[in-house]
Amino acid sequence: MKLYYSPGACSLGIHIILEEIGKPYELSLVALKDGAQYKPDYTAVNPKSKVPALELEEGKRVLTEWPAIAAWLGMTNPEAKIWPTDPEAQARTMEAMDFITGTIHPQAFTRQFRPGNYSTREEDHPKAVEQGRANAEKYFAILDRHWDGDGWLLPHGYSTADAALFFVEYWHARRVGQPLPPKLDEHLNKMLARPAVRRALEQEGLPA
């Protein structure tokens, strides 16, 4: 398998999942800051011009979109025990990943990191950043208040949903420099103690 990634981007979560699985894979850098996602070499891989993308081991077929990649990796590697077998637990895992990647990521953090995506007027960018910070606080408070797991995000234990939660927690605590609610802070520290997480961070040149 080959993971197309950018250091510290949401692809970090898929990188962690690959490390948890332990099967051979390679990394292919897509330098988002340099606009590499828009260049022909990468649009030939993923015309959506974003990471992550995963080239499957069966050939040159490429899978895109964070929840789809995570679900495929979990389902095709049952021995890793990062994907539940119970149908409701599977649905809850998808529910959590969708909320994190489809709501928290764009509405809380893309607003902060790329305010130009939300307004073409530069004078409005501070408002977009402020709204992003407010959204992060709101969404994290929801997760903290309705936390249903025992250390991990969901009751059935560690899963791909924890890798999704980690990258937004990591952004908030390390990149934005804001404190997390208690249960999310505990979760972040628990994730940072996992060997797979530490390996992924080291490979991407990121601080633990």
Which candidate, 153, 59, 45, places its Cα nearest to that of 104?
153
pLDDT band at 59 (very low <50, low <70, confident <90, very high): low
User: Whole-prediction pTM value?
Assistant: 0.97
Q: In terms of domains, do 73 and 116 share one?
A: no
Q: What is the CATH number of the domain that holds 134?
A: 1.20.1050.10
Q: Which among 38, 60, 81 is the end of a domain?
A: 81
**pLDDT tens digits, residue range 156-208?**
999 999 999 999 999 999 999 999 999 999 999 999 999 999 999 999 999 99
Q: In terms of domains, do 147 and 71 share one?
A: no
pLDDT at 82 over 90: yes
Domain interval for residue 129: 87-194
The DSSP-derived string for 7-22 is TTSTHHHHHHHHHHH-
Q: In terms of domains, do 63 and 10 share one?
A: yes
